[in-house]
């Protein structure tokens, strides 16, 4: 199991992260479960995709925080 995959999935989508991550990566949720179980190796590009997803989420959160700061 890739602990980094689990950490990223949980940080991005919460406790029910596998289906949402599968959707955003364009794979089946069964594929994600295989990656977590270690029965299928993660393709190299998955880490690049996870980086992109985390950076996009970070930007959305930063923009939201800036708007909230303006009101506070």
CATH number of the domain enclosing 28: 1.10.260
pTM above 0.85, yes or no: yes
What's the domain range around 22?
3-71
Checking if the pLDDT of 25 tops 80, the result is yes
User: Taking each helix axis from N to C terminus, what angle separates 3-13 and 17-25, rounded to the nearest 10 degrees?
Assistant: 100
The answer to whether 51 and 9 have CB atoms below 8 angstroms apart is: no
Pair of tokens at residue 14: 């919460």
Number of structural domains the chain divides into: 1
Q: Give the residue, 1 or 6, on which the prediction is more confident.
A: 6
b/e code 60-69 from CB counts within 10 Å (16+ = b): eeeeeeeeee
| Residue 33 pLDDT class (50, 70, 90 cuts) | very high
């Amino acid at each position: 199991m890739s602990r980094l995959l689990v950490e990223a999935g949980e940080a991005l989508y919460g406790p029910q992260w596998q289906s949402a991550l599968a959707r955003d990566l364009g794979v089946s949720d069964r594929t994600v479960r295989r990656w977590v179980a270690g029965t299928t190796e993660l393709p190299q590009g998955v880490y690049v995709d996870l980086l992109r997803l985390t950076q996009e989420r970070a930007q959305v959160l930063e923009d939201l925080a800036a708007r909230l700061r303006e009101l506070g």
